[in-house]
Amino acid sequence: MSKKFKRPPLPTKGPNAVWVLLFFLGLGVAYLFWYNSINRDVEHVSYSKLLDQVAQDQIKSIAVQDYTAQGKYRDGRVFNANVAPTERFWSALFDHKVDVEVFPPEKQSWGSMFFLALLPLIFLMLFFYFRQNQGGGGGGGAGKIFSVGKSKAKLFAANQISITFKDVAGVQDAKEDLKEIVDFLKNPAKFERLGAKIPRGVLLSGAPGNGKTLLAKAVAGEASCPFFSISGSDFVEVFVGVGASRVRDLFAQARRQAPCIVFIDEIDAVGRHRGAGLGGGNDEREQTLNQLLTEMDGFSTEHGNVIVLAATNRPDVLDKALLRPGRFDRIIEVPYPDVASRKEILHVHARSVKLAESVDLGKIARGTPGFSGADLANLINEAALLASKLDCEAIEIMHFESARDKILVGGEHKTLMFTKEEKAMTAYHEAGHSLLNLLLPATDPFHKVTIMPRGQTLGVSWSLPEGDKTSQTKTQFTSHIVVALGGLLAEKLVFNEQTAGVSSDLQKASAIARKMVRNFGMSSLGPINYGATYDSFSGKTSERIDAEVEKIISDCYDQGNKLLVENRDKLNLLAQTLIEKETLHAAEVYELLGIPPRETHSLQ
């Protein structure tokens, strides 16, 4: 594929737009001056005074148009007045021999009317002109006012991108997953030969500043292909249809550059599930979203090799249609960096500054839980600024400390930075889930455990679902419940206390238990499917169902508690290691606890 780089066609009329606006404004201002100058020496009199003056024979002539009048006194001065053109008025004028002229209404200062009519239009144009220029960044600003339907995407040619995976520290899992996309972009023929499904869209999910944009760019850098970058909010405009046309324009450009990457930041701005917004403006967003879906479906058949990477902090609000196969069917988590990743990120950004020898980046990494990659980059920068302000030879640890405090005060990290106690509590909570997951035979294979904040919940212990859910047994269901209760159990066992963070765990446990009783005949109520709604059974049955659910939960609770008490040493070891390392992968946990890895299902 040729790497020839064509700039997106810029509107050629560019600077003219400004001149046109200035011309109109100038015209308006000139008119106002002219209008004022010819009226400058005119005296304004009230209607009653005018009538008096008429009675006193002071008025020589008068010209009336509608309710306004201009005239001359006998001494030559001119005046104007607002008048009520009544019978009395006219007869007074005629009685006193005033020279009267009457104009038809339309002739009234058409110039000012024209200008006034134009004024809102001019303001509207100015408004858009400035708005477009504000967030602009690249490209020929002024022309954009005449190109509302053109995409605002920034295009980086392949040779403009120097970022590769080496520049993205940590996020090992994400990089691993994205390598496949790089492979595909580099050698699509290989994939097509084997009939492999070609990736279309990948969703990068994680809090701001953790490197989603950086990763997307690195994919383009690794594959050395062009990179289009746009934010979801750039699509949405007040004019209905503009967003959709921008999407169309963007993909038309992208296809011309294929193979290439289209990166849509903040996709939730367009991708919120339809019919969710309040009031107006919704139509526009829905049209934009529909166009995006159409484009993604379109190029799966006609033109390949355009891969859409999108970033969001709120995958939960996205329209499900976006996540269907052939669209954004892969979600890659870009979490807050754990302690090891934080150290790596600090190393990457410390390359360009001078550190004192005593500075231990590992120590700084340990002292910055809850910091995003961007915060860490900022930390180095702030420390460097401070050191140079104080005329130091190199950046010392105290500079880092002040910089950290500054960032903590300014940022929203107070909620993310936990205290020692919170960190310990979270570690035991997650360790509780994980340990029970490992000890029980009928659970999903263990994947990893972390106490790093991720989205709305604090820590998570992940396991991968195995097989399809309809084949689950009663033992599997109860095991799931025990694992879900593990967080709460550990908190109570170790701290004799519990956090509100268990609410979603309990919800999950109760939902499983209820299903077992109501739908799967897995209780002493016997093999009856009571359906999903309350009208399918009597109030008395409902009470019995509740009682059975309670029994299942309480049995599971006892079972989990017993296991944790028996394995308290393992719980402590796991929790303490989590406090130190923040994230542990399955292999590390197996080794740490001396639990043999569960045999995974083999295809042979």
Interface residues toward Zn ion, by CB under 5 A? 487, 505
Instruction: State both tokens at 358.
Output: 């005593």
Nearest distance, CB of residue 489 and Zn ion, angstroms: 10
Q: Which is nearer to Zn ion, 112 or 504 (CB)?
A: 504
Residue 281's CB: how many other CB atoms inside 10 A?
Answer: 13
Nearest-angstrom CA–CA distance, 571 and 376: 32
Partner from Zn ion, ligand ADP, none contacting 287, C-beta within 5 to 8 A by type:
none
Q: Which is nearer to ligand ADP, 234 or 491 (CB)?
A: 234
The residue number whose beta carbon is nearest to ligand ADP equals: 373
Nearest distance, CB of residue 206 and Zn ion, angstroms: 20
Nearest distance, CB of residue 336 and Zn ion, angstroms: 17
The DSSP output letter for 412 is: S
The residue number whose beta carbon is nearest to Zn ion equals: 487
Nearest-angstrom CA–CA distance, 556 and 480: 9
Q: Which is nearer to Zn ion, 28 or 487 (CB)?
A: 487
Name the strand (E) or helix (H) holding 156: strand 154-156
Instruction: State both tokens at 573.
Output: 């070891």
Nearest distance, CB of residue 266 and ligand ADP, angstroms: 9
Spatial CB neighbours of 387, under 8 Å, sequence gap ≥ 6: 394, 395, 396, 399
Partner from Zn ion, ligand ADP, none contacting 202, C-beta within 5 to 8 A by type:
none
Nearest-angstrom CA–CA distance, 174 and 9: 34
Partner from ligand ADP, Zn ion, none contacting 487, C-beta within 5 to 8 A by type:
Zn ion
Nearest distance, CB of residue 384 and ligand ADP, angstroms: 14
Partner from ligand ADP, Zn ion, none contacting 486, C-beta within 5 to 8 A by type:
none
Q: Which is nearer to ligand ADP, 212 or 285 (CB)?
A: 212
Q: Which is nearer to ligand ADP, 152 or 514 (CB)?
A: 152
68-73/78-82 β-pairing: antiparallel
Please work out, in degrees rounded to the nearest 5, the angle formed at the alpha carbon of residue 109 by the alpha carbons of 106 and 115.
Answer: 115
**Type of residue numbered 258:** A
Nearest distance, CB of residue 215 and ligand ADP, angstroms: 7
Partner from Zn ion, ligand ADP, none contacting 356, C-beta within 5 to 8 A by type:
none
Instruction: State both tokens at 114.
Output: 């024209």
Q: Which is nearer to Zn ion, 68 or 499 (CB)?
A: 499
Catalytic residues: 430
Partner from Zn ion, ligand ADP, none contacting 505, C-beta within 5 to 8 A by type:
Zn ion
Interface residues toward ligand ADP, by CB under 6 A:
168-171, 208-214, 311, 345, 348, 373-374, 377
Nearest to 306 by CA among 327, 289, 287: 327
Q: What is the DSSP annotation of 443-493?
A: SPPEEEEE-S-BTTBS-EEEE---S-GGG--HHHHHHHHHHHHHHHHHHHH
